[in-house]
Chain A
Amino acid sequence: MLSKRFLLAFFFLLLVAMPVLAQDGDPATELQKELWCPICQGIRLDVCEQKVCQQMRDLIDEELAAGKSKEEIKQQFIEFYGPVVLGEPPRQGINWLAWIIPVLLAAGGLLFAGWMTRSWSRRVQSQVDVAPGADAPPDEDSYLSQVEREIEDL
Chain B
Amino acid sequence: MADLGYIALVLAFIVALYGFVVSLVGGRRRDQVLIISGRNSLYAVAGLVVVATSALWYLFVTNNFSIEFVASHSERSLPLFYRFSALWGGQAGSLLFWVFILSLYSVIFLLVEWRRQQRRRPYIVATLLAVHVFFLLVVLVAANPFERLWVLADGTTQAALFRPGGASLFIPADGSGLSPLLQNYWMVFHPVFLYLGYVGLTLPMVYAVSGLMSGDLDNRWAKDVRVWNLIPWMFLTAGILMGSQWAYVELGWGGFWAWDPVENASLIPWLTATAFLHSIMIQQQRGMLKVWNVSLAFIGFWLVIIGTFITRSGIIDSVHAFALSNVGPMFLSFIILSFAVFMYLLWQRLPLLQSESELDSMLSRESAFLYVNVLFIVAAFVTLFGTIFPIVSEALTNTKIAVSAPYFNKVDGPIFLGILLLMGIGPLLGWRRSSTDMLRKSLAPPLAMALFVMVVLFMFVTHNWLPILAWGLTGLVLGTILWEYFRGARARRKATGEVWPLALLRVMGRNQRRYGGYMVHLGVVMITVAVVGATIFQSNLKTSIPLNESVELAGYTFTYTGLEQEKLSNHDAAIANVLVQKGDTLIGTLRPRMNFYSGISGRDMGPTTEVGLHTNLYEDVYVVFNGWEADGNLGAFEIFVNPLMLWMWIGGLVMIFGTLFAVWPIPKSATRRVRVAAAAQPVS
A residues touching B (Cβ–Cβ < 8 Å)?
A: 1-2, 7, 10, 13-14, 17-18, 20-21, 23, 36, 40-44, 46-49, 82-90, 93-95, 97-99, 101-102, 105-106, 109-110, 112-113, 116-118, 120-121, 123-124, 127, 130, 134, 137-148, 150-151, 153-154
Contact = CB atoms under 8 A, between A and B. Distances in A.
Nearest to A21: B464
B430 interface: yes
B362 A118 contact: yes
B481 to A, nearest CB: 15
Interface of B: 223, 253-255, 258-261, 284-285, 288, 317-319, 355, 357-362, 364, 366-367, 370-371, 373-375, 377-378, 381-382, 385-386, 389, 392-393, 396-397, 399-407, 410-411, 414-415, 430-435, 437-438, 440-442, 444, 447-448, 451, 454-455, 458, 463-465, 468, 487-488, 491-492, 494-495, 507, 510-511, 513-514, 540, 542, 626, 638, 678, 683-684
A124 to B, nearest CB: 4
Contacts of A43: 253, 258
5 contacts: A46-B542, A98-B393, A102-B378, A105-B385, A147-B507
Contacts of A123: 358
Given A43-B258, A120-B288, A147-B507, A82 B399 contact: yes
B438 A139 contact: yes
B402 A41 contact: yes
Contacts of B414: 106
A105 to B, nearest CB: 5
Given A89-B407, A110-B374, A153-B285, A41 B317 contact: yes
B558 to A, nearest CB: 17
Contact of A137 (B255, B434, B684): B434
A143 B411 contact: no
A2 B411 CA distance: 33
A145 B684 CA distance: 8
B305 to A, nearest CB: 21
B406 A88 contact: yes
B487 A101 contact: no
Specify the main secondary structure of chain B where it touches its partner. helix
A88 to B, nearest CB: 4
B511 A143 contact: no
A141 B364 CA distance: 19
B451 A10 contact: yes
A82 B400 contact: yes
Contacts of B447: 2
A111 to B, nearest CB: 9
B655 to A, nearest CB: 22
Contacts of B507: 144, 147
A91 B488 CA distance: 51
Given A117-B370, A137-B433, A144 B411 contact: no
A65 B53 CA distance: 61
A17 B467 CA distance: 13
Given A89-B389, A134-B432, A151 B317 contact: no
Contact of A151 (B357, B364, B375, B510): B510
Contacts of B364: 117
Contacts of B397: 93-95
Contacts of A110: 371, 374
Contacts of B431: 150
Given A98-B393, A105-B378, A144-B491, A121 B361 contact: yes
B361 A86 contact: no
Count chain B CB atoms within 10 A of each CB in A18, A113, A120, A139 and give the residue with the most: A120
A14 B451 CA distance: 11
B448 to A, nearest CB: 6
B479 to A, nearest CB: 12
Given A41-B317, A42-B404, A47 B360 contact: no
Nearest to A17: B463
Contacts of A84: 400-402
A1 B405 contact: no
Contacts of B678: 148
Contact of B492 (A113, A116, A124, A144): A144
Nearest to A112: B374
B100 to A, nearest CB: 30
Given A105-B382, A150-B514, A47 B540 contact: yes
Contact of A106 (B360, B415, B511): B415
A44 B510 CA distance: 49
Contacts of B492: 144
Given A87-B402, A94-B397, A102-B378, 12 more contacts: A17-B458, A21-B463, A85-B402, A88-B407, A94-B396, A95-B393, A95-B397, A102-B411, A106-B378, A112-B374, A141-B494, A143-B487
Contact of B511 (A140, A145, A147): A147
Contact of B458 (A13, A144, A147, A154): A13
B540 A46 contact: yes
B359 A117 contact: yes
A124 B393 contact: no
Given A13-B458, A106-B382, A87 B626 contact: no
* Top 3 A-B residue pairs of the complex, sorted by shortest distance between their CB atoms: A144-B491, A42-B258, A88-B407
Contacts of A106: 375, 378, 382, 414-415
Nearest to A95: B393
Contacts of B468: 14
Nearest to B381: A105
Contacts of A130: 360
Contacts of B259: 42
A10 B454 contact: yes
Contacts of A2: 444, 447-448, 451
B223 A120 contact: no
Given A82-B399, A95-B397, A120-B358, A88 B626 contact: no
B253 A44 contact: yes
A147 B319 contact: no
A83 B390 CA distance: 11
B378 A121 contact: no
Nearest to B261: A41
A13 B455 CA distance: 10
B360 A124 contact: yes
Nearest to A153: B285
A41 B319 contact: yes
A134 to B, nearest CB: 7
A89 B393 contact: yes
A2 B364 CA distance: 23
A144 B407 contact: no
A154 B517 CA distance: 15
A88 B448 CA distance: 38
A83 B396 CA distance: 15
Contacts of A93: 397
Contacts of B437: 137
Contact of A109 (B254, B375, B393, B403): B375
